[in-house]
């Protein structure tokens, strides 16, 4: 089996990008480095294929979007496809194509490395749900055009964009306090895995602490049925909360079902509020007050930055985009 460009990079102790540039006589690589890499290539019998040479000289007009696309993701993470749609529409206008790739979190480091080695695309957009420190190391080492959708939960030098979930939490907290609510319960997912909810909670706590108040938090609720059961327990208390604030529509739906079962009225007996306007908040009876984030716009901005990064490889961003907005409806 002939040597690959990865074998050359490992033998030379440099990145794949450096090997590719050296073999293609790039001005950005020193003559000394070019000579050393070519000597290693000759000694290992490396023979670049025509397809690889073609990619080295020109862009192929394709961007990859890597995410866990397991069955049911459309229900568990409906924002995913709003982001993908935003990315695709922007790229289409610029003459680029988008290819979706199913990649699990455990397999991400190796899978993404293989995608980069294949030179199938000009750049890769990665959903933060599959990001690990090992994958971050791969991305940093190879210097491949990339962008993470979502803020990593560890220190890094990656390029990423995200929504300010802390701001969303602050907007929700200020709204509820302004309405006169004080006894509030926040339902969220796993306290270790649900980084979005944790950041929303940080924003809520910032506001409540300023008012010398606190919010009750119940974590580990991941679906409709679990939220329904928790809500039943909450409604059996001697003093029920004034508001149940849910981290997504699915949890809000479970709470509403339990409130109806107990023959209580929303918002007269207890109010409900949710983060995310999609997919159910506009369809419930009563309609749900929600904190909305424009994920389509974030997809647009992700695609725009990716094309900029292809033109300017040293370009980097670590920023928030789109501003969460309050949609007041009947449930509060």
Does residue 191 carry a pLDDT above 50? yes
Mean pLDDT of 135-159: 90
How many Cα neighbours within 13 Å face the side chain of 120?
Answer: 18
pLDDT digits (tens, 9 = 90+) for 198-214: 999 999 999 999 999 99
Residue 302 has pLDDT above 90, yes or no: yes
- Is 258:47 a contact under the CB 8 Å cutoff? no
The larger pLDDT score, comparing residue 8 to residue 56, is at: 8
- pLDDT at 203 (0 to 100): 96
pLDDT greater than 90 at residue 101: yes
CATH, domain 5-57, list 3.40.50.720, 1.10.260.40, 1.10.3720.10, 2.170.8.10:
1.10.260.40
- How high is the pLDDT of residue 23? 82
pLDDT band of residue 140 (cuts 50, 70, 90) is confident
Quick one: pLDDT at residue 56?
47
**Model confidence at 51, in pLDDT bands (50, 70, 90)?**
very low
pLDDT band at 93 (very low <50, low <70, confident <90, very high): very high
Domain with CATH 3.40.50.2300 in the chain: 62-163+296-323, 165-292
Whether the predicted pLDDT of 54 surpasses 70: no
- pLDDT band with cut points at 50, 70 and 90 for residue 188: very high
pLDDT of residue 193: 79
Question: What CATH code would you report for 165-292?
Answer: 3.40.50.2300
What is the reported pLDDT for 244? 98
- pLDDT for the residue 59: 67
Q: In what order do the strands lie in the sheet with 289-292?
A: 216-218, 184-187, 243-246, 271-275, 289-292, 325-327
CATH class of 62-163+296-323: alpha beta
Mean pLDDT of 298-315: 91
- Give dist(CA 22, CA 65) in Å, integer: 28
Q: Tell me: the pLDDT tens digits for 59-87? A: 678 999 999 998 877 777 778 888 999 99
Span(s) in the chain for CATH 1.10.260.40: 5-57
pLDDT band at 57 (very low <50, low <70, confident <90, very high): very low
Report residue 27's pLDDT band, with 50, 70 and 90 as the boundaries. low
- Residue 1's pLDDT is 57
pTM for this entry: 0.75
The confidence score (pLDDT) of residue 134 equals 95
Per-residue confidence band for 195, with pLDDT thresholds at 50, 70 and 90? confident
């Amino acid at each position: 089996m002939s040597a690959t460009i990865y074998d050359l990079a490992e033998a030379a102790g440099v990145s794949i990008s450096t090997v590719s540039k050296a073999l293609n006589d790039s001005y950005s690589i020193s003559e000394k480095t070019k000579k050393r890499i070519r000597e290693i290539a000759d000694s290992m019998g490396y023979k670049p294929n025509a397809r690889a040479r073609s990619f080295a000289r020109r862009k192929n007009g394709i961007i990859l979007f890597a995410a866990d696309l397991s069955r049911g993701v459309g229900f568990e993470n409906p924002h995913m496809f709003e982001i993908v749609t935003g990315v695709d529409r922007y790229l289409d206008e610029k003459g680029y194509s988008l290819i979706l790739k199913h990649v699990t979190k455990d397999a991400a480091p190796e899978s993404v490395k293989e995608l980069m080695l294949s030179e199938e695309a000009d750049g890769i957009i990665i959903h933060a749900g599959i990001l690990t420190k090992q994958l971050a190391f791969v991305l940093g080492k190879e210097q491949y055009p990339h962008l993470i959708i979502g803020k990593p939960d560890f220190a890094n030098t990656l390029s990423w964009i995200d929504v300010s979930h802390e701001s969303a939490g602050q907007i929700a907290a200020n709204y509820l306090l302004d309405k006169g609510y004080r006894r509030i319960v926040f339902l969220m997912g796993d306290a270790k895995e649900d980084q979005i909810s944790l950041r929303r909670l940080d924003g809520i706590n910032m506001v409540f602490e300023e008012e010398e108040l606190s919010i009750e938090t119940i974590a580990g609720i991941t679906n409709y049925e679990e939220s329904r059961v928790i809500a039943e327990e909450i409604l059996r208390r001697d003093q029920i909360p004034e508001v149940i604030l849910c981290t997504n529509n699915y949890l809000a739906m479970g709470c509403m079902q339990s409130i109806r079962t107990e023959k209580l009225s929303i918002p007269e007996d207890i109010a409900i509020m949710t983060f995310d306007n999609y997919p159910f908040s506009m369809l419930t009876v009563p309609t749900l007050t929600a904190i909305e984030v424009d994920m389509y716009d974030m997809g647009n901005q992700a695609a725009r930055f990716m094309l900029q990064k292809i033109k300017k490889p040293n370009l980097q961003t670590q920023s928030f985009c789109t501003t969460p907005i309050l949609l007041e409806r009947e449930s509060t």
